[in-house]
Structure formats: structure tokens, C-alpha cells
Amino acid sequence: MGASTTASGKKFQTRKQRRLVFYILMFALPLLQFAIFYLYVNFNSFIIAFQERTKDFEIVATGDNFAEAFKYFFSAKGGRMLWNSLQLLLCQLLIATPLGLLFSYYIAKGKKGAGFFRVMLYLPQVLSMVVLAALFQVIVNEVYPILAKDWFSAENAGPLLSSSTNSVSVKFYTALVFTLWFSFGANVLIYTGAMSGIDQSIVESASLDGVTTFQEFWYIYVPIIFPTITTFLLTSIAGIFNNQMSLHLFFGNDGNVPVFAYYFYRMAAKNTYASQDIYADSGYMTLGELAALGLIATAILVPVTLLVKKALEKYGPRVD
């Protein structure tokens, strides 16, 4: 009897050890990626913001990077990039979010064609961003000029994403359309999933009380899924300086559309570990200045995001 108990105890310990090993292996790779590509990268960026390379390629501590970063942030170019980033945010909040909620409500209610819309909105999420960007370029650069000339007699219509034939504003708003289109499907799917979890007894009770479709949407569906809406809103605000609107896919490193995330990418890609003096008159920002500019953007966004979060929690619609 004692031997049997001992064998059972060892078997239980072995099973427990195997589970522990399984959990460790499952979480090891994600934690390693998080440590390298998030913690290390951000910590290293913070350190670089306070470093400068001299003519002799020696690394010295400095605070001049922040002076240059502040100067650029409040310059005309920085103001234009900030305005473009704000336009993207406003379009996400005032256009994409309301339309996404309405489409989600339509699909969640199972209206005519709801299944078709669900598949068509999900389809862009299945395809690679590179593939979608290539298809979009074909449409706006090759199909659009033909349709504009044939349907609207626009003789001067040219490729919308051409790096040479159109203004910066045209290229920016064309990329903005692509960004909203690509993100629209994901928003609708998340909102639809949240709406499908609503207790239908609440909806049926409201129907018996004679609520209209708009009242049902505004006073039942929106308040119940408002935590999901809040998450999307805060993500959009927090990522205002991180969304490069797929401009790298359209123009590579040679585009001139003023957007902060794309500017960070272009300057970092063209940068090297040369000394600060070499870049002084080249029009490029050093890695230290870019890191300082990123910290300034973070310092601005963190309190703004927290204030918006508190405002949404306090003044947002409630289920009760």
C-alpha cells in the first residue's frame, strides 16, 4: 500500500514537472521577444537620446539632442507632420469609428447581406499588407487615371501615388484612404464580436418597450461595448506618432510625405553611426536626436492618453 502511494506521488510529481516544462517552453519565446524587441530596444533608445558621437567617434554624454529635437518638433516641418498625424487621428475617430460601429450593428443584427459584408470586410485581414498595398497602387496609379479621363473628362488626371507627378498633399490623402480602408475591417470584426456577446433578453425587453432601431443602437449596444470602443480610441491616440500609413510600402526610403513615423523610419534608415558634426549641415537628424524626438513625443502622448482615458471613463455612456 505504501509503495503504491509512493508511486502515485512520484507520478503526480512527474506530471506536474512536465506541465511546468510545457508552460516554460510556451512562454519562453514570447517573453524573449518582448525582452529583446521591446524592453531592450526602448531602453537602448533612451540611452542613445543622451549620447553624442564626436569627430573621433567617441561616445559622450550630452543634452544637446533634446535641444535639436525640440527645435525640429516646433519647426514648420514638424508642425506639418503633427498636423498630418492629427488629421489621421481625426479621420479614425470621426469617420472610421462611427462607420465601423454602424456596420457592426448591421452585421450583428443579421440584416440582409450581413454574411457577405462580414466575409468582404475580413478578406483584407487575410491578405498580406504588402499585397494589398501593391493592389492599391495599381488601382490609384493605373486604373484611376483611365477612369478619370473616360468618366469625368479629367485630362490632367495622373497616378495618385506617383512620387513625381503629384503634390505631397495628394499622396498623403491617398495613403490616408488606404490606411482607413485597411483598418476598417479589423474594427468591424472586433465590434461585431463584442456585439454578438450582448444578452439578447435585454434587446428583446427593449423591443417590447417600443424602442426604435436608433435607440436600441445608441442606448443598448454602444454602452455595453463601450469598453471595446475605449480601447480602440486610446490605441489610436497612443499610436498617433507610430502610424506611418504604409508609406514605406509605397515609396520606400525616398518618399517626402511628412508623417512622424515615416520620418523616423527614413532618418534611421539613412543614418549611420557617424559623428554629430558630419550630420550638422546634411539635413539629417542623428540617431541621438531621433531618439530624443521620440522621447518628446512619448512625453506628450502619455498624459494626453491618460486624460482621455479618465474622461471616457467618467463621461462615457454607462450600462446602468
pLDDT tens column, 160-173? 887 565 678 888 99
Give the model confidence (pLDDT) of 217-245 as tens digits: 988 899 999 999 999 899 889 888 888 88
Q: Which of 176-180, 276-280, 313-317 shows the highest mean pLDDT?
A: 176-180
Q: Is the pLDDT of residue 278 over 60?
A: no
Specify if 57 maps to a domain. no
Same-domain pairing of 205 and 264: yes
Provide the pLDDT for residue 13: 64
Specify if 59 maps to a domain. no
- Report the share of the chain in percent with pLDDT over 90: 11
Q: Measure the CA–CA gap between 237 and 97, rounded to whole angstroms.
A: 13
Same-domain pairing of 119 and 210: yes
Same-domain pairing of 22 and 123: no
Provide the pLDDT for residue 87: 92
Provide the pLDDT for residue 243: 87
Q: Measure the CA–CA gap between 251 and 168, rounded to whole angstroms.
A: 12
Specify if 53 maps to a domain. no
Give the model confidence (pLDDT) of 4-60 as tens digits: 556 555 665 677 788 888 888 888 888 999 999 889 988 988 898 898 877 666 778
The set of cell numbers assigned to 137 is 497602387
Q: Report CA torsion sign: 9, 10, 15, 21.
A: positive
Strands of the chain (E only): list them: 51-53, 59-61
Same-domain pairing of 205 and 110: yes
Provide the pLDDT for residue 303: 93
Q: Measure the CA–CA gap between 253 and 250, rounded to whole angstroms.
A: 9
Question: Residue 204: which CATH number?
Answer: 1.10.3720.10
Q: Is the pLDDT of residue 197 over 60?
A: yes
Number of domains observed in the structure of the chain? 2
Same-domain pairing of 28 and 158: no
Same-domain pairing of 75 and 163: yes
Q: Which of 117-126, 153-162, 248-257, 306-315 shows the highest mean pLDDT?
A: 306-315
Q: Measure the CA–CA gap between 32 and 294, rounded to whole angstroms.
A: 24
Same-domain pairing of 172 and 261: yes
Q: Measure the CA–CA gap between 45 and 163, rounded to whole angstroms.
A: 31
Specify if 58 maps to a domain. no
SS3 120: helix
Specify if 56 maps to a domain. no
Query: Domain range holding 13?
Result: 2-48
The set of cell numbers assigned to 145 is 487615371
Specify if 55 maps to a domain. no
Q: Measure the CA–CA gap between 60 and 70, rounded to whole angstroms.
A: 20
First to last CA, the chain: 60
Average pLDDT for 199-219: 86
